Amino acid sequence: MIRVLVVDDEALVRFGFTMILDAAPDIEVVAATGGGEALAAVAAHAPDLVLLDIRMPDVDGLTVLARLMERPDPPVVAMLTTFDSDEYIATALRAGASGFLVKDTDPDELARLVRSLAAGAVVLAPRVTATVVSGYLHRHGEHSAAARAVSRLSTRERDVLVLLSQGLSNGDIGSRLHLSVGTVKDHVSAVLAKLDVGSRVQAALWAQRAGLLDGAHT
């Protein structure tokens, strides 16, 4: 079972997400709270995945995200929002968020996206992806710096980087490259270390900026 914590200041949103996700046979919403109770809920329930509202009146979602990333074994965190402001996207990605979903995500897609996040895939809503590519990527860092960082990777590590940047889970990457999941995990760890980034999303941004994904069909 994928254990999910829903954190949102609106009770209706919490109820809706809980109803949709609990209907899936392999997903359990272990708690649904406001921002003020989020850290205590994580400590009490040890969720695999936290769906975290980025804007809340009691405790800001970005503050909660930063605190979660300080934990020795942080859960996967995907930000929830009704906005697609690049300011918030950039901040959340730099802070370690593994995904970014808008609250009007199609209910039929929500469980699939949760499964992808839990499996280690990068998940960005289409509107968010457009904002990242057109704004964040082109304002942060030089192409040459990204190219230098990617050049430190081995051929196999670049293959893994391309596939994780396309949103594939470790299992899917292993199937594509004929590698075990354990070997893929080792390669992903090496990629993150060599690029000096803290998440798969940040690694994907470096790959995009370096032009590694242009016409990639690994």
Mean pLDDT of the 167-184 span: 91
Q: State the DSSP code for 132.
A: I
Q: Is the pTM of this model over 0.85?
A: no
The percent of residues above 90 in pLDDT, for the chain, comes to: 42
Task: Tell me the pLDDT tens digit for each residue of 48-92.
Answer: 999 999 888 878 888 899 999 999 889 999 998 876 555 677 777
Looking at residue 216, its pLDDT comes to 52
Task: Judge whether residue 140 has pLDDT over 60.
Answer: no
133 pLDDT band, cuts 50/70/90, is low
Looking at residue 218, its pLDDT comes to 44
